[in-house]
Chain A
């Protein structure tokens, strides 16, 4: 039965604050997830000892270290679930379902890639950037945050050898403004593929710029999920395929969608 491949136990190795509102959770498993999860896929997590949190919580896997059997999750504190996750101590066992959904489509040959992330949306680009650089693509990353205290990942992406532009809404760090205000220099770099993840207001400003320059791209979406494995139909989004608008499940047909197919306007 495939359930053995989808239900896992992992142990908390580290759970550390990386900026004002984000934590990085490093988990160790037996390889069931750390060796199989592709960039852009997600896991659905049971918060242990919290039976009051009825639903699992879905998190994109930021990166894996297959040799050390490690799985990285970067999460923002938004509610009860993530609030409880802050309390997870090293050694605690947690229950994960995954890998779920479809990851980013990876280019078959090296090319210039533009990664655009906003806030927590920077996390799902981490493993992608590592993969692209390893496969000799040139990676440009534009990452946006509200303010200086909420910036994370700049050092990591620089270490991976991506060129990085950081923006903050209030200008307290990096370039002032939104990511969409600072894409222009990169859009003229013969970008072969763009990858986008962030809040919808950001997505709505980034996609038209990519479409205008005829750049192929993908966006990773999120929505509140019930099951994470395709049965409850809570996390749907509208996608236009073959001239027809249809509802697709972010957990199953996504979370990664083509920017040409996803209905990002409304």
Chain B
């Protein structure tokens, strides 16, 4: 028996369920020095904005117990630069490319979708709605179900590409947001984005990040992500890309049991850019050992106490 890890995720044919998380593998060039991008299920590029954005002051990253707090601030060279300089590089690979789009003004999302829709070599747009909405005092678009839905609808109207909504965990009930983006045409959801956090250096009494607050990623957030995936899985019928603290094949199986169709590896790539290889080997061995022919047969199969 040869275990089958492949899947079709909202129209994207993937050789396996492993996706890179946006912002953790750049736009491919640097990461490809370590790993053949074609070994991935899909590659997600770093969030791009319509225009150039400088990002936040340094320090932009701080290691915490079990996780990493970051506030890069969507440093971006703008969509035109991405199309001219980065997309041609990614097009050399057969791996499906997901492009993450980000904005601080609602209408920019639709404009980005319109521009990227003209380009070859992109399979899907991941809409990063976790950014602060500057028109509404800086609260996240993704915290408001109606606004989240409206953005997804505007993006869907401007592109034929699959649209994935990236959800923030910093909400009371993630299923309200998930249902709203599904109702407005999202083809999939990816979750979770980073968990809002802060850390202080007790000696200098200064925040450890230049931006004062940031987002936590890494193993510490995995249980939060598992629960959000499980909640979402029971609320919507579109597929889920689960992410948050994945470092091993065991983590991947756990996310699939919670209801993920595919999974994202992010922060784990910093320490070990080859972790994807270890994960794929581990999953294959696990499937053989347990007589599992297709990985998607495990999706959502967590067994609850009766």
Contacts and interface: CB of A to CB of B under 8 A. Distances in A.
Interface of A: 1-3, 6-7, 46, 52-56, 80, 223-237, 247, 252
A236 B60 contact: yes
Contacts of A235: 58, 60
A34 to B, nearest CB: 20
Given A54-B63, A247-B55, A233 B72 contact: yes
A226 B66 contact: no
30 contacts: A2-B34, A3-B274, A6-B33, A46-B271, A52-B65, A53-B63, A54-B67, A54-B218, A54-B270, A54-B271, A56-B270, A226-B270, A227-B24, A228-B270, A230-B29, A231-B25, A231-B30, A231-B270, A232-B23, A232-B26, A232-B72, A232-B270, A233-B46, A233-B75, A234-B72, A235-B58, A235-B60, A236-B75, A237-B58, A247-B75
A229 B63 contact: no
Contact of A55 (B34, B46, B66, B271): B271
Contact of A7 (B26, B34, B55, B75): B34
Given A3-B274, A233-B60, A236-B55, A54 B26 contact: no
Contacts, number: 100
A52 to B, nearest CB: 7
Nearest to B36: A1
Contacts of B34: 1-3, 6-7, 229
A1 to B, nearest CB: 6
B70 interface: yes
Contacts of A3: 33-35, 273-274
B30 A55 contact: no
A4 B305 CA distance: 47
Contacts of B270: 54-56, 226-228, 231-232
Given A7-B34, A56-B271, A224 B58 contact: yes
A249 B112 CA distance: 26
Interface in B183-229: 218-219
A240 to B, nearest CB: 14
Q: Most chain-B Cβ atoms within 10 A of its Cβ — which of A7, A224, A225, A227?
A: A227
Nearest to A228: B270
A234 B60 contact: yes
A230 B33 CA distance: 11
B269 interface: yes
B59 A223 contact: yes
B68 interface: yes
Contacts of A226: 60-61, 68, 70, 270
* Interface residues of chain B: helix, strand, loop or mixed (majority): loop
A231 B61 contact: no
A222 to B, nearest CB: 11
Contacts of B218: 54
Contacts of B33: 2-3, 6, 229
B267 interface: yes
B62 interface: yes
A233 B270 CA distance: 12
B54 interface: yes
- 6 residue pairs, one from A and one from B, having the closest CB atoms: A230-B30, A231-B26, A234-B61, A3-B34, A227-B270, A234-B60
A225 B55 contact: no
Contacts of B273: 3, 7, 227, 229
A252 B61 contact: no
B286 interface: no
Contacts of A225: 61
Given A54-B267, A234-B70, A229 B65 contact: no
Nearest to B31: A231
A21 B23 CA distance: 36
B58 A252 contact: no
Nearest to A5: B33
B178 to A, nearest CB: 28
A224 B68 contact: no
Contacts of A233: 23, 26, 46, 55, 60, 72, 75
Given A3-B273, A235-B58, A54 B24 contact: no
Given A229-B273, A231-B24, 12 more contacts: A1-B34, A3-B273, A54-B270, A55-B68, A229-B33, A229-B34, A232-B70, A233-B55, A234-B59, A234-B72, A247-B55, A252-B30
Nearest to A252: B30
A228 B26 CA distance: 12
Contacts of B61: 55, 224-226, 232, 234
Interface in B112-134: none
